[in-house]
């Protein structure tokens, strides 16, 4: 039987997606960049991918848009 994770894979997915163990969430890292002209911005990205894959696999938002998970539980 195909697992839920495998059913969402596409032929065009990069190798790191295809080889990932579905039971293990991706390892994410983040970096905050402060700006004199605007709000601080946090970028979240997978820490275990090559530089080429990293070009398309990131998310950036204002630092104030992130919350502490422990405070919301």
pTM recorded for the entire structure: 0.61
Tokens found for residue 70: 């422990």
- Tell me the average pLDDT across 4-25: 60
C-alpha to C-alpha distances, 4 to 16, 22, 70, nearest whole angstrom = 17, 8, 28
Q: How many residues does the chain have?
A: 73
**pLDDT confidence bin for 7, thresholds 50/70/90:** low
**pLDDT confidence bin for 38, thresholds 50/70/90:** very high
Q: What are phi and psi of 57, to 5 degrees?
A: -125, 75
Closest C-alpha among 67, 57, 72, 68 to residue 26: 57
Tokens found for residue 28: 């994410």
The residues that bridge with 22 in the sheet, in sequence order, are none
């Amino acid at each position: 039987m195909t697992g839920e994770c495998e059913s969402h894979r596409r032929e065009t997915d990069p190798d790191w997606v295809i080889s990932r163990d579905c039971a293990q969430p991706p390892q994410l890292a983040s970096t905050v960049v402060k700006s004199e002209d605007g709000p601080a911005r946090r970028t979240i990205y997978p820490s275990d991918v090559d530089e080429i894959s990293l070009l398309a696999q990131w998310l950036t938002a204002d630092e104030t848009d992130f919350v502490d998970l422990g405070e919301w539980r």
